[in-house]
C-alpha cells in the first residue's frame, strides 16, 4: 500500500512554478514510486547504465521530441547528454512550468550539470527514507518540527490529546532502517535485503558512478564508516584503519556522500574558533545498513549493544533532516563541542535563531542531561538561542529545566 510522502505538497508546488524539478536520493528511497504516484499521466522513461534507451545519449533532441513534456526522466544520471537538450526545450517554451520531472541517485556530474545549466529553471528536492510520520500513515500532516520551530512553549504546553505518535517498536525501527521496501518485509528477510543492497551499491553503483576500481576495499571502507556513525570525522584515523591515505579516505567519503549513503554535519564555530572543535560529525543515511554491517541479527539483539546510542542519534538526526526538508527556504545544521568536552548533538538554524537538540536514549532525563545545552548558551550569550530539547524515550513532552524540554522520540 502506498504511503503518502511528506514532500508531496512541496513537490507539487515546485512543479507549478519551475520548468524542471529534480528529486535526488539514495537508491530505493522511493523516488520512482513518488513520481509515478504524483504524476501518473506523464510520459515516463527510466534510463539504464548499459543500454542507450532510444538513442537518448546519441540524439538527445530527437529523444525529447518523441517524449513530449510533461515527462518524467528517471535515473537521469545515465543519460547526461539530455541536459543541454532539456535547456534548449525549456528556453524555447518560455520556461513553461512542470515540463520535466527528473530523478537521480548521485549528486555530482549530471545533477551538477543540471544545476549549472538550468540555473533559475530547476528546483531540487532531496528524498530520504521513510520518516516516522510516513511509516505511521500520516504523511499529509504538518511535521512536529514545524510546530516546535513556531513556538516551543506552546508545543510543550498544549493538550496531550493533540499529539500523535508512531506506535511501532524503537528497536525494530532502528534495526530495519528507513527504506520503503524493508518496512513490509518479514523479519527473517531483512538481513537478506541489506546484504543485497550492500552488494548492489558497492559492486554496481560505486563502480559505475564513482570509478571505484578496488570495490572490495571500498566495501571494507563502507563497513568501517558505518561503525563510526554519529562520531566526529578524523580522516587520518579512517585511512590508518585499512591502510590507505587520508586523501583516499576523504575521497571515498565524498563518494558515499555523493551517492546519498552518508552525510556530515559541520561544527558550529561562532566566534570561538580556537576553543571549538572544527571536525564535522558523520552519519550513515540508514540505520538498517549500520545494523547489517555490525551483524546485528534481530531487533532484540540491540539491547545493550555498544552501537545502540550512535544508532539512536543517527536515526533522530535523519528524522529532523527529513522533516526540515518540508520547510520553505534554507535550514542550517551544526553540531557543537567545546575544548572542555561540552557538546550539543544538533543545532537547527532558522531565520537567525538556533534551536539546540540533545539526543539521549533515556526515559528519565534530568538537569545533568542538559549540561551541554547550558554550556552552549553560556559560550554564546550574544546569539538568539531558542528553548532546547532532549529527544528521548519519555511518553509526552515536558519541561526538564526552565529552557529545555524532553520530547518523545516517536512524535509525528
pLDDT digits (tens, 9 = 90+) for 310-338: 999 999 999 999 999 999 989 999 999 99
Q: How confident is the model at residue 248 (pLDDT cuts 50, 70, 90)?
A: confident
Interatomic CA distance for residues 375 and 343, integer angstroms: 8
Q: Residues of 364-378 as b/e, b for ≥16 C-beta within 10 angstroms?
A: ebeeebbebbbbbbe
Residue with cell 518524467: 72
CB neighbourhood size of 211 (10 A): 8
374 Cβ contact partners less than 8 Å away, ≥ 6 residues apart: none
How much is the pLDDT for 211?
A: 63
Least trusted range by pLDDT, from 60-69, 119-128, 208-217, 277-286: 208-217
Q: What's the chain's average pLDDT?
A: 91
Least trusted range by pLDDT, from 33-42, 70-79, 103-112, 137-146: 103-112
Interatomic CA distance for residues 33 and 60, integer angstroms: 25
Q: How confident is the model at residue 350 (pLDDT cuts 50, 70, 90)?
A: very high
Which of left, alpha, beta for 54 (phi over 0: left; psi -120 to 50: alpha)? Answer: left
Residue range 239-255: average pLDDT? 82
Please count the residues of the chain: 412
- Using DSSP's 3-state secondary structure scheme, residue 354 falls into strand
How much is the pLDDT for 107?
A: 66
Closest CA to 305 of 389, 357, 227: 227
The pLDDT of residue 274 is above 50? no
How much is the pLDDT for 251?
A: 86
Residue with cell 544538533: 346
CB neighbourhood size of 411 (10 A): 22
Q: How confident is the model at residue 285 (pLDDT cuts 50, 70, 90)?
A: very high
The pLDDT of residue 92 is above 70? yes
The pLDDT of residue 38 is above 50? yes
User: Which domains are present in the chain?
Assistant: 8-126 (3.40.50.300), 133-408 (no CATH)
For residue 186 the three cell numbers come to: 518479514
In percent, how much of the chain has pLDDT > 90? 71
The pLDDT of residue 272 is above 50? no
For residue 108 the three cell numbers come to: 555530482
Which is higher by pLDDT, 329 or 176? 176
408 strand-pairing partners? 392
253 Cβ contact partners less than 8 Å away, ≥ 6 residues apart: 225, 233, 235, 238, 262, 264, 282
pTM of the predicted model as reported, rounded to 2 decimal places: 0.94
H or E element in which residue 227 lies = helix 215-227
Q: What is the DSSP letter of 386?
A: P
Amino acid at each position: 500500500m502506498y504511503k503518502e510522502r511528506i514532500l508531496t505538497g512541496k513537490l507539487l508546488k515546485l512543479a507549478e512554478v519551475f520548468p524542471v524539478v529534480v528529486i535526488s536520493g539514495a537508491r530505493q528511497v522511493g523516488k520512482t514510486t513518488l513520481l509515478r504516484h504524483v504524476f501518473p499521466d506523464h510520459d515516463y522513461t527510466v534510463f539504464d547504465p548499459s543500454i542507450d534507451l532510444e538513442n537518448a545519449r546519441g540524439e538527445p533532441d530527437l529523444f525529447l521530441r518523441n517524449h513530449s513534456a510533461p515527462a518524467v526522466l528517471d535515473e537521469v544520471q545515465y543519460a547526461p547528454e539530455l541536459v543541454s537538450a532539456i535547456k534548449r526545450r525549456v528556453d524555447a517554451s518560455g520556461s513553461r512550468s512542470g515540463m520535466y520531472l527528473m530523478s537521480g541517485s548521485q549528486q555530482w556530474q549530471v545533477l551538477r550539470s543540471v544545476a549549472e545549466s538550468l540555473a533559475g529553471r530547476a528546483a531540487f528536492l532531496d528524498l530520504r527514507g521513510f520518516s516516522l510520520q510516513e511509516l505511521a500513515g500520516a504523511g499529509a500532516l504538518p511535521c512536529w518540527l514545524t510546530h516546535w520551530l513556531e513556538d516551543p512553549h506552546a508545543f510543550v504546553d498544549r493538550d496531550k490529546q493533540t499529539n500523535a505518535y508512531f506506535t511501532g517498536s524503537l528497536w525494530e525501527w532502528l534495526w530495519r532502517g528507513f527504506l520503503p521496501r524493508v518496512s513490509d518485509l518479514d523479519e527473517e528477510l531483512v538481513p537478506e535485503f541489506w546484504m543485497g543492497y550492500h552488494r548492489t551499491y558497492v559492486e554496481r553503483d560505486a563502480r559505475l558512478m564513482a570509478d571505484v576500481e578496488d570495490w572490495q576495499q571500498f566495501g571494507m571502507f563502507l563497513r568501517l564508516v558505518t561503525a563510526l556513525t554519529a562520531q566526529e570525522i578524523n580522516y587520518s584515523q579512517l585511512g590508518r584503519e585499512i591502510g590507505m591515505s587520508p586523501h583516499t579516505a576523504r575521497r571515498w567519503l565524498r563518494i558515499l556522500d555523493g551517492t546519498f549513503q552518508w552525510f556530515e554535519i559541520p561544527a558550529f564555530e561562532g566566534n570561538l574558533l580556537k576553543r571549538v572543535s572544527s571536525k564535522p560529525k558523520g552519519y550513515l543515511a540508514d540505520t538498517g545498513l549500520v545494523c547489517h554491517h555490525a551483524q546485528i541479527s534481530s531487533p532484540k539483539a540491540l539491547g545493550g549493544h555498544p552501537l545502540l546510542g550512535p544508532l539512536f542519534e543517527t536515526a533522530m538526526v535523519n528524522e529532523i533532516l527529513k522533516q526540515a526538508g518540508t520547510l520553505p527556504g534554507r535550514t542550517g545544521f551544526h553540531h557543537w563541542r567545546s575544548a572542555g568536552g561540552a557538546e550539543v548533538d544538533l543545532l537547527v538554524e532558522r531565520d537567525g535563531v538556533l534551536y539546540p537538540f540533545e539526543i539521549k536514549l533515556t526515559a528519565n532525563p534530568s538537569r545533568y542531561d542538559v549540561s551541554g545545552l547550558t554550556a552552549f548558551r553560556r559560550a554564546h550569550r550574544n546569539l538568539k538561542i531558542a528553548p532546547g530539547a532532549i529527544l528521548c524515550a519519555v511518553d509526552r513532552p515536558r519541561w526538564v529545566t526552565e529552557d529545555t524540554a524532553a520530547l518523545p522520540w516517536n512524535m509525528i
